[in-house]
Amino acid sequence: MSIVKIVIPPIGESINEVTLGAWIVSDGDYVEEGDELVEVESDKATLPLPAEQSGVIKIIAQEGDDLEIGAVVAELDTSASAPAGASTESAPAPQASAAPATAVQSSGDKNYPSPAAGKILAEKGIDANSVSGTGKDGRITKADAMNASAPAKASADKPAAAPSQEIAAQVPTSGVSREKRVEKMSRLRKTIAKRLTEAKNSTAMLTTFNEVDMHNVMEMRKKYKDAFKEKHDIGLGFMSFFTKAVTMALKEVPGVNAQIDGDNIIYHDYADVGIAVSTPKGLVVPVVKNAESLNLAQIEKEIKRLALKGRDGKLTVDEMTGGTFTITNGGVFGSMLSTPIINIPQSAILGMHNIVERPVAVNGEVVIHPVMYLALSYDHRIVDGKESVTFLKTVKELIENPERMLLDV
């Protein structure tokens, strides 16, 4: 027998501990080299742990365990061979008495539950096919199983002719639910909470506001979006315009692109712009590196690439570190106005909001134009009021006159 230990590998600088996520395989499964075994959740990202060799796996660590780098999570018997005449995904046909969740696990359905979720569903007598999974590729997580409810069974001794009476009898008289559930806070959520609290407590944060008339940039987008899509194979959105405007404003007001390091101030001659992305696991901020050197099409492609990886939980630590400035867009959720919190150690963050038609004065006449409120939160220890207002005003003017971005004037 040849046993290989599967350990938590080094993930990134300053990351010493991780939380074990959902096991993708079950104890005793035969796995091939390269197969994903389990999700590992660090402070910055959730990464899959692949098998380095083929063999039969013995699971040691359980879902939700907090483990140090180098900890053993499983053992692999590499001397074992794959079952004859069967792929690694095949399994004996489930017996008639098997729980519904087990049958789905064996068949490899997209609603494949994690081991913990399968056990909970089996105890509840719930068919996994009736549960919508929120995990990767529709996988049913432990939380999904805990929240799942068994379907109401029709009463055989009551005639089907009086549905209104049955419904009335089932409605609680109070109409108020007193149920509650407790879930362990994920490592990513704990990190978000810690960093936001640290930002509020360790910076002299102040927010300044302005409004931007979106009429001209929307007309430009409307005019060229089809040609842009045809040439670059990517849609033309507003985020690329704002990212480009930010990089140009950072050149004019370099203090907004700086950060405090002890008694020193570090200025950057480049703009690594973080784009806040909402994912099922929480808010992540992947970074568009050297955004100042990219055109609109390149910015759009990079934002899309990072957003898709964020949604699928495949962002690397390198893709989420090193930003010099951050943009967050609460407008996609309908936010009219907010005061975003600085992403430390950065010194400022730009908040975008929803676009609403409002009356504005243009050349002495009142017209209806699409307007967005912008918010710039900044660390007053390093950025003065004049700099913050100048920066936000520059972004406003570039968006209202988008041809300036194309001409770099």
Give residue-wise pLDDT tens across range 3-41.
Answer: 888 888 887 666 778 888 888 888 888 888 888 888 888
Instruction: Return the DSSP state at 140.
Output: B
Please report how the helices 238-252 and 385-400 are oriented relative to each other, as an axis angle in degrees rounded to 10: 140
Nearest residue to 119 via CA among 141, 152, 134: 141
pLDDT of res. 84: 58
Can you give the CATH number for the domain in which 397 is found? 3.30.559.10
For residue 266, what are the β-bridge partners?
259
Residue 172 has pLDDT above 70, yes or no: no
Give the residue-averaged pLDDT of 106-110. Answer: 43
Joined together, the tokens standing for residue 9 give 């590998």
Percent of the chain with pLDDT over 70: 82
User: Does one domain contain both 42 and 128?
Assistant: no
Domain-embedded: residue 95: no
Domain-embedded: residue 290: yes
Give the residue-averaged pLDDT of 335-360. Answer: 94
Q: Are 307 and 235 in contact (CB under 8 A)?
A: no
User: Does one domain contain both 231 and 347?
Assistant: yes
- Active site residue: 27, 66, 312, 380, which one? 380
Q: Provide the number of structural domains found in the chain.
A: 3
Of 69, 90, 111, the one marking the end of a domain is 90
Domain that holds residue 31: 1-90
User: Does one domain contain both 79 and 107?
Assistant: no
Residue 342 has pLDDT above 50, yes or no: yes
Q: How confident is the model at residue 109 (pLDDT cuts 50, 70, 90)?
A: very low
Give the highest mean pLDDT range of 128-132, 335-339, 395-399.
395-399
Residue type, 325: F
CA 228 from chain centre, in angstroms, equals: 27
pLDDT of res. 315: 84
pLDDT of res. 160: 52
For residue 283, what are the β-bridge partners?
278
- For 40, 69, 70, 310, the CA distances from 8, given in Å and listed in that order, are 8, 5, 5, 22
User: Does one domain contain both 264 and 206?
Assistant: yes
Residue 186 has pLDDT above 80, yes or no: no
User: Does one domain contain both 76 and 122?
Assistant: no
Q: How confident is the model at residue 173 (pLDDT cuts 50, 70, 90)?
A: low
Instruction: Return the DSSP state at 57.
Output: E
pLDDT of res. 121: 77
Give the residue-averaged pLDDT of 352-380. Answer: 94
Nearest residue to 238 via CA among 162, 299, 171, 326: 299
User: Does the active-site annotation cover 380?
Assistant: yes
pLDDT of res. 312: 81
In 16-71, beta strands by DSSP E: 17-23, 30-31, 36-41, 46-50, 55-59, 66-68
Burial of 220 (0-12, 13-18, 19+ CB in 10 A): middle
- For 1, 235, 251, 268, the CA distances from 292, given in Å and listed in that order, are 56, 20, 9, 12
Domain-embedded: residue 266: yes
pLDDT of res. 243: 96
Q: How confident is the model at residue 149 (pLDDT cuts 50, 70, 90)?
A: confident
Q: How confident is the model at residue 290 (pLDDT cuts 50, 70, 90)?
A: very high
Peptide bond into 94 cis (omega under 30): no
Strand order in the sheet with 36-41: 46-50, 36-41, 17-23, 66-68
Q: Are 23 and 40 in contact (CB under 8 A)?
A: no
pLDDT digits (tens, 9 = 90+) for 295-324: 999 999 999 999 888 888 788 888 888 899
Nearest residue to 407 via CA among 244, 224, 212: 244
> What pTM does this model have?
0.64
Q: What is the Cα–Cα distance from 328 to 371, expressed in whole angstroms?
A: 17
Residue 122 has pLDDT above 80, yes or no: no
User: Does one domain contain both 124 and 78?
Assistant: no
User: Does one domain contain both 79 and 116?
Assistant: no
pLDDT digits (tens, 9 = 90+) for 208-266: 999 999 999 999 999 999 999 999 999 999 999 999 999 999 999 999 999 999 999 99
Can you give the CATH number for the domain in which 114 is found? 4.10.320.10
Can you give the CATH number for the domain in which 75 is found? 2.40.50.100
Question: Where is average pLDDT lowest: 42-46, 111-115, 226-230?
Answer: 111-115
Of 90, 117, 137, the one marking the end of a domain is 90
Between these two residues, 245 and 105, which has the higher pLDDT value?
245
User: Does one domain contain both 288 and 352?
Assistant: yes
Tokens 């660390």 identify what position? 379
Question: Where is average pLDDT lowest: 152-156, 220-224, 352-356, 382-386?
Answer: 152-156
User: Does one domain contain both 209 and 128?
Assistant: no
Joined together, the tokens standing for residue 322 give 């090193």
Domain-embedded: residue 81: yes
Domain-embedded: residue 1: yes
Residue 88 has pLDDT above 70, yes or no: no
- Phi, psi (rounded to 5 degrees) for 296: -60, -40
User: Does one domain contain both 73 and 110?
Assistant: no
pLDDT of res. 47: 77
Domain-embedded: residue 140: yes
Give the residue-averaged pLDDT of 89-109. Answer: 40
The gap between the terminal CA atoms of the chain, to the nearest Å, is 70
Domain-embedded: residue 166: no
User: Does the active-site annotation cover 35?
Assistant: no
pLDDT of res. 383: 95
Joined together, the tokens standing for residue 278 give 């909402």
User: Does one domain contain both 84 and 116?
Assistant: no
Q: What is the Cα–Cα distance from 2 to 77, expressed in whole angstroms?
A: 6
Mean pLDDT of the chain: 82
Q: Is the Cα dihedral 233, 239, 241, 244 positive or negative?
A: negative
Domain-embedded: residue 224: yes
User: Does one domain contain both 84 and 221?
Assistant: no
- Active site residue: 137, 272, 384, 408, which one? 384
